[in-house]
Structure 1
Amino acid sequence: MTKNNRWVKLFSILFVQLFFLQLEAASQISAIKSEVEIFDKQLLKTTSVRIVQSGIKNNFSVLLVHGLGDNGVKDWRGVISELAQSYHVIAIDLPGFGQSELNSEFYSPHQYAKLLHKVKQKYAKSKKIVVIGHSLGGAISLKYASLYPQELSRLVLVSVAGVLQRSVYMRFLASFNDNSKDNGFLSKIKKGALNIVNTVSSSTIEMTDKLPHFEKFIVNNALSKNYLFKNQQTLKSSIALIETDYSLILPQIKMPTHIIWGTEDPVSSLRVAKVFAFHIPKASFDMIKSAKHVPMFTHLKQFNQLVNKVLAGNATYYKPKTTSLGNSEIGNIHCDGESNLYFTGIFNEVLLENCNNIKLENVYAQRIIMRNSSMTFDNLSVNNNEVSLELNDSKMTGNNAIFKGEIPLMLNESWIDIAGGYLIGKNNAVQTDGESKVYFSVSRAQTSQSIYSLHGEYDDEFERL
């Protein structure tokens, strides 16, 4: 494959992301009957920002933050009319989206979060508010909650895009299959684009991690500017979203947080929802069956029911099933040359030798050893005085893990992809021998010297690339 063809396919991945974001909404846009619409020229010095308010008579304020795409506030059209019956609703067109003016600044979730603070200060009627953010807006709302926790009583995160490490996220986009039976014109375009994206190899995707300033490359690349992102604000916001690291933020979100996700979301990996639910202390979690990336369009009634339940304080906190050893009987797993096995429970040692496609879910173990094996996991806790997890010529992918030991992870000629990991070690979180591929997303490590973020691709010396 030539270098130019590789970049075309990489950009195809980003194109499909935005195509999905806008396609679900495009045929369902209608005008919002709002009580008050303001184009505020004072929130930002150089940009007019559209603010829509409804339910003015109500005293408790709810702030809605939209995602990528041209719709802006229109993303919330069916939600606003529902919530306005009981709440004062504030919705904003972020700069460069909807009817707000473009802004020349490079807007990251951090900068957008500061804008939300200004909106809250000026328009909210209650001391604390509920913030509901979708996609890009969810990432912005998460950042806002970390910067201004005193201003929120609750946070609702809907299908938050990005979050995973750059090439891990692109690998998710490249692996998605659209199984819908719709054979309309737009559906055929979508499926054609997916056919291109699904041919992208892992080595091509991993090229993005070799670029020291990926966001600058994309912004200044002629292909992305002329064909992929003609709206520069969408481009800049998309890249800033992918580049933001939330690893150290999640444990700091102390207000009740509810997560809403579609089970068939092609843009926001369900891995992110699982990580949020596991690592945000007061999280609750609902999945909407068959919903894709914009559940407030395709499943409006169910979405509004969930939001009203959350606002009434009736959500149940998410509690992972992984527990401590306690007084339970401890067993062992020894898999030798087997495939497609599933394990859950409490174990002394898990030994996988020449085993493929092993699934661990809600497992507590004192040690895990893998040799020439592959394994996926959800909710894994390993606690050992020496090495907690040892991989030799093996592959492991999973979500939400706590590895505690003098050396939490020891790798040799192996490949790992962990989202929501927490590594607790004496001096080093990871020890590598031989060539290994190491990907961490929204993870963190704690040693006797410090606590630090793990979010990126790491080389054989466990230096971030």
Structure 2
Amino acid sequence: MFLRLLRLLPLLLALGVQAEEAPLRFSLPGAAQGFDAGQYPAHWRFRRLAEPVFGSRILVLEAGDPQAQPLMLVHGLGQNGLRDWLGQIEPLAARYRVIALDLPGFGHSEPGQGRYSPTNFARLLAWLHTELGLAPGPVVGHSMGGAVALRYAASHPEQVTQLVLVDAAGILERSSFLKTPTTLPRELDGAPRLLRRLAHQAKDLGDSLVELSGLGADPTAWLSAHDGAWRLLLQDQPNTNAALALMEEDFSAAAHQLPRPTTLIWGERDRVAPLRTGQALLATLPQARLYTLPEAAHVPMADQPQAFQQLLLQALEAPWPAAAPAEPAAGSLPDLHCQHQTGTVYRGAYRRVLIQACTGVQLEDLQAQELRVEDSLVSLARVRIQAPRGAALHSLRSVLTATASQLSGEWAIRADDSRLDLAGVQLQGEQTAVQVDGRSRLLLSISRLESPQYRGYAHGLYRFRQRSLDGLLAPIR
């Protein structure tokens, strides 16, 4: 238990939720001390409702025309609760019936009983929708609230017309979520090659340690399996309760099957839920689009409120363009050979790509018929490898991070003494999707495998040798 909480400490600190904020005055009858409705616009309507999911009383705010289409706002971790949305409520209320709430245990709502999981919070939102007699409408969620909104829209699509996820947290597998962002800080872009190489290697060491901690005995497994113990130990720790529950949830099915259009808004400087999460969701959601704010971090509505407001209104009201089909590369293609490079970025269409003894190399928007990586640190984003025969990706003694990519061949991947971190990746193998020869470590988030042995989702951390991931997953699915 202590080890897992220690691993969560950087996340909690990054989200700014360790220190309780000073309470505000309260004037609503029957509510907890610390809230003053008088400090808000007079036409905002506050009420407290007794909810049945956690057995608490929650604070609910409504603004705008009661006859307008409803729009629900879901906050993330931290005792700000619905106050994270205060700057956005007035412009939204000009068009919508805005509903914002403090989730149980947060802001000015009472603590609730049980696990503060996205699944349970989604049940609460479904109850609130019915309790208020709402018509179907958009739902906007930030950080943990993005994960809650995703689960809610997937579980109750009849109540949701569209979804907006803002820097959604906890979507990737928990070890990947706790690792440092895929790319190094921009300040290192112009640094000497040796310094950049050492920075990439230091990052890789930290990532490896996170993965190793995830492969060890899980100190919270017993806690997760016993609701009574969870309630006893975490009832008065809402942030830890919610963070632990968030990281235990698998969103693979929701990310691949969500029947509602989804707009992703992301701060490009987010170090809590890096842009990689948004890119993985963009690749997996059936209908999605991604807007980014280059100078914003994890809370774009605070970092760039005006720019965020424009993007949010655009997300809610702009028409959805028809998806353009991907065009295959045509004509004779060159080969690409990267050797002893650091931090180089490659794009384009190739026949064969060979990466040897390279560090921090990035393949972006790249197509090829074969990718072979030896003794290298490489990241892939929006890469498509279609091998007419053999393996689409052959990794030897290397570390690869792949996001929003597609690999297909006799084997999608063959790995030998390698570490692979895949997020939002589609793997298709005529024989097997992933074949491991020498001992390798595989970390998969909201990814999908298709082969004669296994067809389904892959979301977890695995370490094995001389067998296929397909065979490992098939008996337990």
> Could you tell me the TM-score, scaled by structure 2's length?
0.81
Q: What is residue 372 of structure 1 aligned with on the other side?
A: 375
For residues 44-443 of structure 1, the aligned pairs below 5 Å read: 44=53, 46-126=55-135, 128-172=136-180, 202-203=208-209, 206-212=212-218, 214=220, 216=222, 231-314=236-319, 323-325=327-329, 327-384=330-387, 385-443=389-447
C-alpha distance in 2, partners of 1:8/1:118?
31
**Separation in 2 of the partners of 1:345 and 1:201?**
29
Evaluate the alpha carbon distance shift between residue 257 and residue 174 of structure 1 in structure 2; reply closer, same or farther with a 3 A threshold.
Answer: closer
DSSP 3-state at the match of 1:67: coil
Deviates more, 1:204-213 or 1:415-424: 204-213
Map Cα deviations across residues 170-192 of structure 1 (whole Å, 9 max, x no partner).
1227998798xxxxxxxxxxxxx
Aligned partner of 1:312: which letter? Answer: E
> Closer, same or farther in 2 for the Cα pair 1:25/1:339, shift >3 Å?
farther
Q: CA deviation at 1:259?
A: 0.8
Q: 1:21 & 1:453 partners in 2: Cα distance? A: 34
Q: Which moved more, 1:290-299 or 1:8-17?
A: 8-17
Gaps of 5+ in 2: 25-34, 188-202
SS of equivalent to 1:426: strand
Q: Is the 8 A contact 2:343 2:359 kept in 1?
A: yes
- Structure 2 Cα separation of the partners of residues 10 and 174 of structure 1: 18
Shift of 1:297: 2.0
Which of 42-51 and 267-276 deviates more? 42-51
Partners of 1:271 and 1:66 in 2: how far apart? 21
Q: Is the 8 A contact 2:53 2:120 kept in 1?
A: no
Once the 2 structures are TM-superposed, how far is the Cα of residue 452 of structure 1 from its aligned partner? 2.1
Q: Percent identity?
A: 28
Q: Decide whether aligned partners of structure 1 residues 50 and 209 sit closer, same or farther in structure 2, where only a CA change above 3 A counts.
A: farther
Alpha-carbon distance in structure 2 between the residues aligned to 1:393 and 1:344: 23
With 43-52 and 100-109 compared, the bigger mean Cα shift is at: 43-52
Distance (whole Å) between structure 2 residues aligned to residue 166 and residue 110 of structure 1: 17
Partner of 2:464, secondary structure, is: coil
How far apart, CA to CA, are the structure 1 residues paired with 2:275 and 2:64? 33
Q: Partner amino acid for 2:390? A: E
Counterpart contact for 1:52–1:91, Cα < 8 Å: yes
User: Using a 3 Å threshold, how does the CA distance of structure 1 residues 270 and 174 change in structure 2: closer, same or farther?
Assistant: closer
One-letter code aligned to 2:216: K
Residue in structure 2 matched with residue 10 of structure 1 by the alignment: 7
Give how far 1:231 is off.
4.0
Equivalent AA in structure 2 for residue 203 of structure 1: L
User: What whole-Å deviation, never above 9, does each CA across 1:213-252 have from its counterpart, x for those lacking one?
Assistant: 63656999xxx99xx9894222121111111112232221
Give secondary structure in 2 for the equivalent of 1:249. Answer: helix
**8 Å CA contact 2:21, 2:79 repeated in 1:** no
Cα shift at 1:282 = 1.9
How far apart are 1:451 and its partner, in Å?
2.3
| Count of aligned pairs | 437
**Alignment deviations for residues 44-74 of structure 1 (CA, whole Å, 9 cap, x no partner):** 4722122211113442110111111112111
Match of 1:35 in 2: 44
Secondary structure of 2:177 counterpart: helix
- Counterparts in 2 of 1:255 and 1:8: CA distance versus 1, 3 Å: closer
Q: Are the equivalent residues in 2 in contact too, given 1:149–1:255 (CA < 8 A)?
A: yes
Give distance in 1, aligned partners of 2:183 and 2:343: 21
- TM-superposed CA distance for 1:199, in Å, is 10
Q: 1:25–1:282: structure 2 CA closer, same or farther, 3 Å change rule?
A: farther
Unmatched runs of 5 consecutive residues or more in structure 1? 180-196
In 1, distance between residues paired with 2:181 and 2:353?
Answer: 32
8 Å contact 2:141–2:165 — kept in the other structure? yes
Q: Is the 8 A contact 2:371 2:393 kept in 1?
A: yes
Displacement of 1:198 in angstroms is 12
CA distance in 1, matches of 2:126, 2:71: 13
Matched letter for residue 298 of structure 2? H
The CA distance in 1 between the partners of 2:99 and 2:221, in whole Å, is 31
Does the C-alpha gap of structure 1 residues 446 and 159 become closer, same or farther in structure 2, counting only changes over 3 Å? same
Does the C-alpha gap of structure 1 residues 15 and 114 become closer, same or farther in structure 2, counting only changes over 3 Å?
A: closer
Corresponding residue for 1:451? 455
Q: Does the C-alpha gap of structure 1 residues 208 and 459 become closer, same or farther in structure 2, counting only changes over 3 Å? A: closer
Of 335-344 and 386-395, deviating more is 335-344
CA distance in 2, matches of 1:200, 1:257: 33
Shift of 1:298: 2.6
What secondary structure does 1:131 align onto?
A: strand
Contact 1:61–1:124 (Cα < 8 Å) also in 2:
no
Aligned to 1:192: none
Partner deviation per Cα, 1:148-202 (whole Å, 9 max, x = no partner) = 22222211000111212222221227998798xxxxxxxxxxxxxxxxx999674
Following the alignment from structure 2 to structure 1, what is the Cα–Cα distance between the partners of residues 204 and 349? 38
1:5-56 Cα shifts (integer Å, max 9, x gaps): x7786354244234279899999x9954353222112544722122211113
> What residue is the counterpart of 2:199 in the other structure?
none
Other structure's SS at 1:264 match: coil
Q: Secondary structure at the match of 1:234?
A: helix
Deviates further, 65-74 or 383-392: 383-392
> In 1, are the aligned partners of 2:81 and 2:102 still within 8 Å (CA)?
yes
Structure 1-normalised TM-score? 0.83
8 Å CA contact retained: 1:404, 1:425: yes
Counterpart secondary structure, 1:64: strand
Asked if structure 2 preserves the Cα contact closer than 8 Å seen for 1:61 and 1:88, the reply is yes
Residues 143 and 12 of structure 1: CA distance in aligned 2, closer, same or farther (over 3 Å): closer
